């Protein structure tokens, strides 16, 4: 067993040095590779990065003590991880990026709006990531925020160009460093005895409204990564167990995001007047002088590679949208062009934003992005696991006159109705829904939109002739691997 793991690791490292040839096209069986552990490490490091600090600090800013903030974060993370991890099983089964799989639910043209939303999510994350990376580099006196942000943004673009294998290998080693550093950080703080009884008191410190706001924020943050997941599992063999890949992804994403959110909550509780990264550095230095910088550097490396993941996934989604309007060859050169366009534009905006942007505007941006994608994840998962049960034609997904059509009223109607149903429950600085205001500012939008979207889509699909589709799929995808050579 250990020999196989070692061989797979060395092969993965060799693949990482080669620029990926594929784009949004199907990955043939001859190119399938990977191990389940890589799904855990790419998502642990992809979520245990510095941006996650901001979500962790929300509860402290709202007046909750540390222990109730951590409980709210854990609950929201758990609820958000379930749908996110479920998407991971779609990659090996279909061999396609995540957002291409939206065509059967919404149609070739009907899905364009969803893809625009997804590109905005990716692009928005790159902006936030670059802004935070630049500010952190300046804090460590490695250069100005502007120059550092540009340099780190360009490095992320290069990582994204090399693609799938380099992203996996990078996050595999980053996970090892993160586990070691975060372990020392938590044990060191516990041994230093800096936690007060007020921080850890369960009784007399609970407040319902901020607790639900923390839970909702953690759920939204985790849920916003649903667009990413199959992009990083699509090279896995189709025989990969659904349950196993979901479990590994859930462990990596859930533990990764909660660990860094918990660090953010601790730093905000210890140093409420300081910026999060400054609080983190001070907390680390209280364990051992200079250790705070080590934590920031390791978390920054994870953020840099995660930024590469955002650029990579955003480019795939941009190509998917373009291909629906004007059929394209899914070539390596097109993928590189899309990466450069998305990466450079977001990097420029990221370095122009003020250094305080993360601390002042992060929650609002996060909530809006999550509102837009919550109905999609419900529709997509219900279609995959309940309606079509994973039975799709890859060739028909790419055909302009394929069986999935140009418009699918079922997915579109379920999305629109579920989003409208969320509006009264939304709570934002510039808009307070009547129901959310009545509940004292508690945002229940996600708890409404996801079930409404999923149930409606299931009901609408009762009239769908799935049997006829199944009869066509076998013939449509006969000898699929023969014409799966990448167009370079």
Predicted confidence pLDDT, tens digits, the chain (488 residues): 555 555 555 676 788 889 999 999 999 999 999 999 999 999 999 999 988 888 888 889 888 989 999 999 999 999 999 999 999 999 999 999 988 889 999 999 999 888 888 888 899 889 989 998 999 999 999 989 999 999 999 999 999 999 999 999 999 999 999 999 999 998 898 887 777 778 888 877 788 888 988 998 898 889 888 888 999 999 999 999 999 999 999 999 999 999 999 999 999 998 988 888 899 999 999 999 999 999 999 999 999 999 999 999 999 999 999 988 888 888 899 999 999 999 999 999 999 987 766 666 666 777 787 788 889 999 999 999 999 998 999 989 988 888 998 999 999 999 999 999 999 998 887 888 998 888 877 778 888 999 999 999 999 999 998 888 888 888 888 888 887 777 66
The pair of three-digit structure tokens given for residue 162, joined into one six-digit string: 């090399």
How does DSSP assign 146-185, residue by residue? HHHHHHHHHHHHHHHHH-HHHHHHHHHHHHHHHHHHHHHH
The whole-angstrom separation of Cα 253 and Cα 11 is: 25
Q: Return the DSSP state at 432.
A: E
Specify the pLDDT at position 324.
87
Element (H, E) at 431: strand 431-432
The residue ranges of every structural domain in the chain are: 35-362
Burial annotation 323-343 (CB, 10 A radius, 16+ → b, else e)? bbeeeeebbbebbbebbeebb
The whole-angstrom separation of Cα 397 and Cα 374 is: 23
Specify the pLDDT at position 381.
93
Quick count: other Cβ atoms within 10 Å of Cβ 190?
10
Specify the pLDDT at position 85.
93
Architecture of domain 35-362: Orthogonal Bundle (1.10)
Specify the pLDDT at position 210.
87
Helices marked H in 66-111 — which ranges? 66-87, 90-94, 103-106
Half-sphere exposure for 87 (CA within 13 Å, toward CB): 29
Going by C-alpha positions, the residue among 291, 211, 309, 316 that lies closest to residue 252 is: 309
Query: pTM score, two decimals?
Result: 0.91
The pair of three-digit structure tokens given for residue 360, joined into one six-digit string: 């002042």
Inter-CA distances, 213 with 284, 447, 477, Å: 28, 12, 47
How does DSSP assign 211-222, residue by residue? HHHHHHHHHHHH
């Amino acid at each position: 067993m250990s020999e196989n793991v070692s061989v797979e690791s060395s092969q993965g490292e060799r693949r990482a040095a080669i620029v990926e040839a594929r784009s949004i096209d199907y990955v043939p069986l001859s190119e399938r590779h990977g191990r389940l552990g890589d799904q855990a490490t790419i998502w642990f490091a992809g979520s245990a990065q510095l941006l996650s600090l901001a979500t962790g600090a929300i509860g402290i800013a709202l007046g909750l003590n540390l222990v109730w903030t951590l409980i709210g974060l854990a609950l929201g993370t758990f609820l958000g991880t379930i749908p996110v991890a479920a998407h991971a099983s779609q990659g090996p089964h279909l061999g396609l990026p995540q957002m291409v799989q939206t065509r059967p639910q919404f149609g070739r043209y009907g899905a364009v709006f969803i893809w625009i939303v997804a590109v905005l999510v990716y692009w928005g994350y790159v902006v936030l990531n670059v802004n935070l990376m630049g500010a952190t580099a300046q804090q460590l006196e490695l250069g100005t925020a502007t120059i550092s942000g540009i340099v780190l943004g360009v490095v992320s673009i290069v990582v994204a160009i090399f693609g799938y294998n380099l992203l996996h290998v990078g996050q595999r080693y980053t996970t090892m460093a993160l586990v070691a550093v975060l372990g020392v950080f938590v044990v060191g703080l516990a041994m230093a005895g800096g936690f007060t009884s007020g921080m850890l008191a369960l009784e007399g410190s609970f407040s319902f409204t901020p607790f639900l706001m923390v839970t909702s924020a953690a759920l939204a943050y985790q849920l916003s990564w649903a667009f990413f997941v199959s992009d990083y599992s699509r090279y896995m063999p189709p025989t990969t167990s659904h349950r196993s890949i979901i479990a590994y992804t859930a462990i990596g994403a859930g533990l990764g995001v909660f660990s860094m959110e918990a660090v953010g909550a601790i730093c905000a509780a210890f140093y409420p007047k300081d910026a999060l990264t400054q609080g983190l550095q001070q907390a680390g230095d209280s364990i051992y002088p200079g250790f705070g910088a080590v934590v920031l550097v390791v978390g920054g490396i994870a953020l840099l590679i995660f930024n590469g993941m955002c650029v990579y996934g955003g480019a795939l989604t941009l190509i998917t949208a373009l291909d629906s309007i004007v059929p394209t060859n899914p070539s390596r050169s097109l993928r590189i062009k899309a990466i450069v366009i998305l990466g450079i534009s977001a990097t420029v905006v990221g370095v122009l934003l003020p250094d305080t942007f993360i601390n002042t505007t992060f929650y609002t941006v996060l909530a809006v992005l999550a509102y837009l994608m919550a109905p999609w994840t419900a529709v997509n998962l219900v279609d995959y696991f309940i309606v079509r049960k994973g039975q799709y034609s890859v060739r028909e997904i790419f055909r302009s006159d394929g069986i999935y059509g140009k418009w699918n009223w079922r997915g579109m109607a379920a999305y629109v109705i579920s989003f409208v149903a969320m509006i009264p429950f939304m709570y934002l600085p510039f808009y307070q829904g009547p129901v959310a205001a009545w509940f004292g500012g508690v945002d229940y939008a996600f708890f409404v939109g996801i079930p409404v979207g999923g149930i409606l889509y299931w009901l609408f699909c009762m009239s769908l002739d799935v049997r006829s589709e199944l009869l066509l799929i076998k013939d449509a995808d006969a000898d699929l691997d023969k014409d799966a050579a990448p167009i370079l």
